[in-house]
Amino acid sequence: MKKESKELKKLISKAKNILILTHKGPDFDAFCSALILLEYIRTFYKKKNVVFKARQMPTQNIPFMQDIQIVEHLDMGDEDLIILTDSGNMDMCVTHHDSIQNSTAKLIIIDHHDTATEQTDLSVNNNMSSATEQVLTLCMDIEGSRYKITEEISKLGQIGIISDTGRFLYENATPNTYEMMGKLRRVFNLDIEDFTYKNSKFPYETLQPLRIYIKNVKVEGDMAYTYITKKQIEKYELTKTAVNNAQQHVRDRIIRHIQGVHWGFVVKPSYYKENIWQISFRGTKGYQKVDKIAELLGGGGHEYSAAARVEAVDAKEAVSIVLDAIKSSLSS
Ligand SMILES: [Mn+2]
């Protein structure tokens, strides 16, 4: 058993009340890694109280989702151990309305992002494809053959891995990831095409902000960016969901797909705090490493996919802050 597995086992054994959290705006890797961990602790540590709290449900049915405790705020309770999955620090999980960040409980971080994590009692990050792969690897390392992949775990595992590897398109999928997928698929053959198709659906109201995002696209050299202003959001009465969906679409399918463009960023309001803008960067192999720029802005991520938040009165100011960071990153 690896040292970090032993350490994890020790910390779980010592705890009474365990709280699992994941990052804000959770994706499927966030939900799946947290639920696999929840089920692991429930199964192997029957006397522990363990809860997984989140602010929202996944957008598709996944096993054990009924066990997610939906809360408006993450407040301190009787937990003596907090485990974060798919997040490098508490900041990624909380807002200023929460109080859990002041907790004195022990803290474990299970992540797979490159970004440095905060000081914790245990941090596990083997730079795997996904937090899901990391959690499964830990469970299997600790329990060996006692760890049984049930149909539910198989589904969660596959969903987490295919989401974060883009169905094995990204470099983060290693031979170990494929092997893990093999183990999972021997138990249940998830319809991956059906899952990703349903996942790529968007509501009709997405089209208006999408039009705006496309209209606002600026190309500078081999970089492109776009944004949506407060005024545009007000004028067209755009909802948070519509803006978020449109931002995802431009970010993943348009910005670096324009001929001659290899990288870029998309700006949207954060919705968690007034005057905070979410900047999402996307890059291509052999071109700008976008995590370096995101780090300059206090964010982080991977070489080809990174994010940061900036404070600005409007999108245009946010854009100019990012452009300045890009300039200083390129000249350093
Ligand atoms: Mn992830």
Q: Identify the sign of the CA torsion 141, 79, 92, 233.
A: positive
pLDDT 10s digits, 179-213? 999 999 999 999 999 999 998 888 999 999 999 99
Residue type (1 letter), 304: Y
SS3 122: strand
Domains of the chain: 3-197 (3.90.1640.10), 204-331 (3.10.310.30)
Q: Report helix angle 131-143 to 151-165, nearest 10.
A: 140
234: CA distance to ligand 1 center in Å?
32
Q: How big is the CA angle at 40 (ends 77 and 182), to the nearest 5 degrees?
A: 140
pLDDT 10s digits, 285-330? 889 999 999 999 999 988 889 999 999 999 999 999 999 999 999 8
User: pLDDT value at position 114?
Assistant: 77
113: CA distance to ligand 1 center in Å?
7
User: pLDDT value at position 272?
Assistant: 79
222: CA distance to ligand 1 center in Å?
28
